[in-house]
Chain A
Amino acid sequence: MSIIVDKLNYVYGDEAHQVQALQDISITIPDGQFLGIIGHTGSGKSTFIQHLNGLIKASSGSIFYNGQDIYDKDYDIRQLRSKVGLVFQYPEHQLFEAEVFQDVCFGPKNLGLDRKQAELKAFTALRQTGVPEDLFYVSPFELSGGQKRRVAIAGVLAMEPEVLILDEPTAGLDPKGRDELLNQLEKLHKERNMTIILVSHSMEDVANYADRILVMDKGRILLDQTPKEVFSHRKELEEMGLGVPQVTCLMQELKSKGFPVAADVTTVQEAKTELLKYFQVKGR
């Protein structure tokens, strides 16, 4: 089971001013992948992910979700939206109920579940995103930024999606809040084999968590590789307005100065292991 995107194009604007927001995108996302998407503002990331749950309809091309064409006349697009959960940028701006718990219940209720079932799912989802129980019955407006963000994500999780797409979920969170949220996502990914698609402006975050990275530029996919491979293209990434994690930059500098170390390191832990190995071997 998977998402297959085939020759997707999206064009908007009137006849005089046509903008091709997505150009010829073909990609397969297998179940249980942790996919990172990077690209500068306006590269088409957000437009692309909104196609995956049918919020935007392609100008041409197809999308198959678990083998079914989502543009088929009889395809149940509402069903798709519950299976492919989308968390927008600043999702906390969309909290609207008087109490946290009610807000999270909204999604499952809307799917037609009875109250009891909806509440059970809301409870589980709030647990999964690490919202403490004493906050369940307060107004969302009394929560801190990080807490609101978790509640908003719980609202999507309560619909028990198979795929969870998040558009810059850590923007504006403090470093600890960022790590906690990303660790929760990794847990969902590992324990429930949930497919996670993470759109991010932080090279460090995608390097630390993703199995595979798509690099988008001008509506196209320019790179589709593992983090190590993607971040070996430092010059191209910088030209696109992106970059590489600081440790990758460091290891590349060291390599060019003649250190016999791996330059494809993408996390602090890897860099530490690699450098200690070098200095210990040398010390003997």
Chain B
Amino acid sequence: MIKIKNLIHEYIRRDEEENVVDIKKAVDNVNIDVKPGEFVALLGHNGSGKSTLAKHINAILYPTEGTVWVNGMNTSAEENLWQIRQSAGMVFQNPDNQIIGSVVEEDVGFGPENMGIPTEEIWQRVEESLKAVGMWQYRKKSPNKLSGGQKQRVAIAGVVAMHPKCIILDEATAMLDPSGRKEVLRAVRALNQVEKVTIIHITHYMEEVIYADKVFVMDKGSVVMEGAPREIFSRVEELQKLRLDVPQVTQLAYELKKSGLPIKSGILTVEELVEELCKCR
């Protein structure tokens, strides 16, 4: 679905006379392969290059060196631009910056309308998408009246209506309260499991990562860890060195194990730890 090969992205700063003052490598030789239908999580501290990398996947940025293919299309080729943006939709952090319609259903219809889809099909897609994220009963509402989690789900529906093969969530849960985060995660997982949409989820909430098929951890523009959540979260100290952490139960299980309790490593959920502790009794 997505193939990234030897990707380098440099931000170049110039002074008033266009002389190069500073070159910063935000993405440094990244190789990633995401298969269709995978749920991938991307972790990394602020400034580690996650968002820059994500922006390459729907051709908001172009490689300085290396190549990015989305659904077989090279993002550097200008003629692919619209197709790529259609295949890979992006949802950003702030729900208030990405809703444009004054009524929920119009907002969701904007994308397909812009693509030149016939009116009848637009309405069909709006219905499907709003149902997929559980927002159908709010279709006639003004987005202003919705909660943060609801707004983000409308934003996701707007992307879904364009029938993308892949959705990239760039810290889309950062501003939400606990129930808003759950709502968004539930909607995204449903799209992944039922519609087989490929998901790339960028987040600082470690609890949200446990559902992923694969986790990539970035530092200084490079991928420094890669694996299933259980493998990644059993490397507690390494993650902490990278300014990250692990879910509370993972941390607790890790410390109990260090103190001598026979608990397996890489505990991800409350249920798992309860089960392990019952065995210790």
| Chain A residues at the B interface, C-beta cutoff of 8 Å | 39-42, 89, 144-146, 168, 171-179, 201, 203-204, 241-243, 245-247, 249-250, 253-254, 257, 259, 268, 271-272, 275-276, 279, 282
- Which residues from 46 to 76 on chain B have a C-beta closer than 8 Å to any C-beta of chain A? 46-47
Instruction: Say how far A90's CB is from chain B's closest CB, in angstroms.
Output: 8
A241 and B179 form a contact (CB under 8 A): yes
- Among B148, B243, B259, chain A packs the most CB atoms within 10 A around the CB of B243
Contact digits for B218-233, partner A, Cβ 8 Å, 1 yes 0 no: 0000000000000000
Note all chain B residues with C-beta closer than 8 A to A39: 177
A245 to B47, CA, bound (A): 28
Nearest CB in chain B to that of A146: its residue: B46
Nearest CB in chain A to that of B244: its residue: A175
Inter-chain CB contacts under 8 Å: number:
111
B148 and A41 form a contact (CB under 8 A): yes
B147 at the interface (CB under 8 A from A): yes
Nearest CB in chain A to that of B206: its residue: A175
Identify which of A203, A247, A275 contacts B178 (C-beta below 8 A).
A203
> Please, could you name 6 A-B residue pairs with CB atoms under 8 Å apart, sorted by A?
A41-B177, A176-B240, A178-B204, A241-B177, A247-B249, A275-B256
Contact digits for B172-184, partner A, Cβ 8 Å, 1 yes 0 no: 0011111110000
Note all chain A residues with C-beta closer than 8 A to B171: 172
A177 to B147, CA, bound (A): 27
Instruction: Say how far A161's CB is from chain B's closest CB, in angstroms.
Output: 25
Note all chain A residues with C-beta closer than 8 A to B93: 172
- Which residues from 238 to 281 on chain B have a C-beta closer than 8 Å to any C-beta of chain A? 240, 243-245, 247-249, 251-252, 255-256, 259, 261, 270-271, 273-274, 277-278, 280-281
A55 to B207, CA, bound (A): 36
Bin chain B's interface residue count.
Answer: 35 or more
Identify which of B147, B243, B273, B277 contacts A174 (C-beta below 8 A).
B243
Nearest CB in chain A to that of B22: its residue: A142
| Chain B residues at the A interface, C-beta cutoff of 8 Å | 44-47, 93, 147-149, 171, 174-180, 204, 206-207, 240, 243-245, 247-249, 251-252, 255-256, 259, 261, 270-271, 273-274, 277-278, 280-281
Note all chain B residues with C-beta closer than 8 A to A201: 176-178
Q: A40-B179, A175-B45, A246-B249 are in contact. List 10 more A-B contacts (CB 8 A).
A: A172-B46, A172-B204, A174-B244, A175-B245, A179-B245, A201-B178, A241-B179, A242-B179, A246-B248, A272-B252
A276 and B256 form a contact (CB under 8 A): yes
Also in contact, A245 and B248, with CB within 8 A (given A257-B278, A272-B256) = yes
Identify which of B174, B176, B255, B277 contacts A268 (C-beta below 8 A).
B255
B244 and A268 form a contact (CB under 8 A): no
Note all chain A residues with C-beta closer than 8 A to B280: 279
B277 and A254 form a contact (CB under 8 A): yes
B248 and A145 form a contact (CB under 8 A): no
A40 and B147 form a contact (CB under 8 A): yes
A175 and B46 form a contact (CB under 8 A): no
Nearest CB in chain B to that of A178: its residue: B204
A243 and B248 form a contact (CB under 8 A): no
| 7 cross-chain pairs, A with B, having the tightest CB-CB distances, nearest first | A241-B179, A176-B243, A174-B45, A246-B248, A175-B245, A144-B47, A145-B46
A146 to B45, CA, bound (A): 10
A95 to B93, CA, bound (A): 19
Note all chain A residues with C-beta closer than 8 A to B256: 272, 275-276
A204 to B149, CA, bound (A): 20
A172 to B177, CA, bound (A): 13
Note all chain A residues with C-beta closer than 8 A to B175: 89, 168, 171-172
Nearest CB in chain B to that of A237: its residue: B178
Note all chain A residues with C-beta closer than 8 A to B259: 272, 276
A175 to B248, CA, bound (A): 12
Nearest CB in chain B to that of A245: its residue: B248
Note all chain B residues with C-beta closer than 8 A to A276: 256, 259, 261
Also in contact, A40 and B177, with CB within 8 A (given A245-B248, A246-B247, A268-B255) = yes
Identify which of B180, B243, B248 contacts A40 (C-beta below 8 A).
B180
Instruction: Say how far B44's CB is from chain A's closest CB, in angstroms.
Output: 8
Note all chain A residues with C-beta closer than 8 A to B180: 40-41, 241
Note all chain B residues with C-beta closer than 8 A to A242: 177-179
Note all chain A residues with C-beta closer than 8 A to B206: 175
Nearest CB in chain A to that of B148: its residue: A41
Nearest CB in chain A to that of B180: its residue: A41
A172 and B174 form a contact (CB under 8 A): yes
Instruction: Say how far A117's CB is from chain B's closest CB, in angstroms.
Output: 33
Identify which of A40, A177, A204 contacts B46 (C-beta below 8 A).
A177
A148 to B271, CA, bound (A): 39
Instruction: Say how far B176's CB is from chain A's closest CB, in angstroms.
Output: 7
Note all chain B residues with C-beta closer than 8 A to A246: 207, 247-249, 270
Nearest CB in chain B to that of A267: its residue: B248
A268 and B251 form a contact (CB under 8 A): yes
A241 to B176, CA, bound (A): 11
Instruction: Say how far A130's CB is from chain B's closest CB, in angstroms.
Output: 14
